[in-house]
Amino acid sequence: MRKSRIGVLTGGGDCAGLNPALKWVVKTAMDESLEWERGTRYEVLGIRDGWKGLVSVDLASPDTEGHISPLNPEIVRTWDRYGGTMLGTSRFSPYDPKNDCSKQLIENIERLGLEAVIAIGGDGTLAIATRLAREGVNVIGIPKTIDKDLPETDYTLGYETALNVIVEEVDRLRTTAGSHKRIFVVETMGREAGWLALEGGEACGAYIILIPEYDFSLDKVNELVMEGRRAGTRYEIIIVAEGAKPEGGTEIVRKEGVDSFGHKALGGIGEVLAHQIEEGTKIETRSVVLSHLQRGGAPCAYDRRMGRYFGIAAIDLIVNKKYGNMVCVHNGSIGYCPLEKIYGRLSVVDPSTQYDSDRYNGRRTILNGEKKSVRAKKSQRKV
């Protein structure tokens, strides 16, 4: 029987759904009942802390445990119940121009005898996977990110659990907001994509939703608030994406500069906006930053299911030697697409079909009127 070794890693920001995917990668690869049909016995090595683990492992040392752990179905049996990633993760790029260690990484893949590497990640991690594929490494991608900003897939692991966090936290805020007749500005994550804010806001019934794809006018926000108060509302929930900005303004950042993937450290718009609204409306306004709470907690049922399907599909691709692809989902069907097709692109909200710019909220018509979209088109952006 032919033997083959697969490496699997999780890279970038953690989220719910990673552990279910890891579990099903291992269970599917090591399913003994499929060995004869495949003619191959697979072994799976878990790589710790993302790409960093593959660069840091010193194969000459007897102690590689900190970076590489052999996995088996018994070890991963209960992993799908837990949030985060049992393998650890990092925001580490082997192609960082200031410290390019990609040669070392490729050498280690060869020395570990990995026939293929499965990278579970967002745009940064999968951009690295694409570059490795160009250099001849057999890679498969699994999409994950609470931002849901990867193109060529309707879903990225972690997103639905993050939406549930937004809904749960807003439900909690409603009682205190109503008691005090206050406005609450709730800042969500999402980087340059408004999916979390828009669909989280739609799910929790927010009064106003501000997204990065449509610059807002502060006067208009205040007017909408006052209109609500005149109509008798006691409180307002305003969801603002961390990447949203006022007309003619810029995003608010936690610190200047970008990381090795070119990402800005966005954050802080909620507090700034709350002050401005209070000043403009004279209504007591508070802000809450949901921040990493959106990435935490146990995976919801959908993330467990999608983690399972993506994990199984990733192994199917390896069995069929369809390297250089990312597993994906379209209209409920699991499939795959070339990693090259997602490289340097982001999926963002198309405000002309998916946003109501008059009410700063979700669209008010879905099947009627000129904003009718038979199949809501996703807007694509070069990054």
**Whether the Cβ atoms of residue 162 and residue 196 lie closer than 8 Å to each other:** yes
Dist CA 121 CA 89 (whole Å): 10
Q: Does 201 bind ligand F6P (CB under 6 A)?
A: no
Residue-by-residue DSSP string for 34-46: GHHHHTEEEEEEE
Q: Which of residues 5-24 bind ligand F6P (CB under 6 A)?
A: 13
Task: Give the three-class secondary structure for 128.
Answer: helix
Size of the site for ligand F6P (CB under 6 A): 12
β strands within the chain, DSSP E: 2-10, 40-47, 68-71, 116-121, 139-143, 183-188, 208-210, 236-241, 253-258, 264-266, 285-289, 325-330, 333-338, 345-348, 355-356, 361-362, 379-382
Which part of the chain contacts ligand F6P (CB under 6 A), choosing from 185-193, 304-312, 359-367, 373-381? 185-193
Shortest spacing between CB 292 and ligand F6P, in angstroms:
6
Shortest spacing between CB 290 and ligand F6P, in angstroms:
10
Q: Which of residues 310-369 bind ligand F6P (CB under 6 A)?
A: none
Which part of the chain contacts ligand F6P (CB under 6 A), choosing from 189-197, 232-240, 312-320, 329-337? 189-197
Q: Which of residues 112-141 bind ligand F6P (CB under 6 A)?
A: 122
Q: Does 145 bind ligand F6P (CB under 6 A)?
A: yes
Task: Give the three-class secondary structure for 116.
Answer: strand
Dist CA 141 CA 46 (whole Å): 15
Structure tokens at 300: 């919801």
Considering the complex, state which of residue 59 and residue 265 has its C-beta at the smaller distance from ligand F6P. Answer: 265
Shortest spacing between CB 122 and ligand F6P, in angstroms:
6
What residues act catalytically?
A: 147
Q: Which of residues 81-100 bind ligand F6P (CB under 6 A)?
A: 91
Q: Does 273 bind ligand F6P (CB under 6 A)?
A: no
Closest to 344 in 3D by CA, of 106, 152, 120: 152
Interface ranges with ligand F6P (CB under 6 A) = 13, 91, 122, 145-147, 189-191, 242, 266, 295
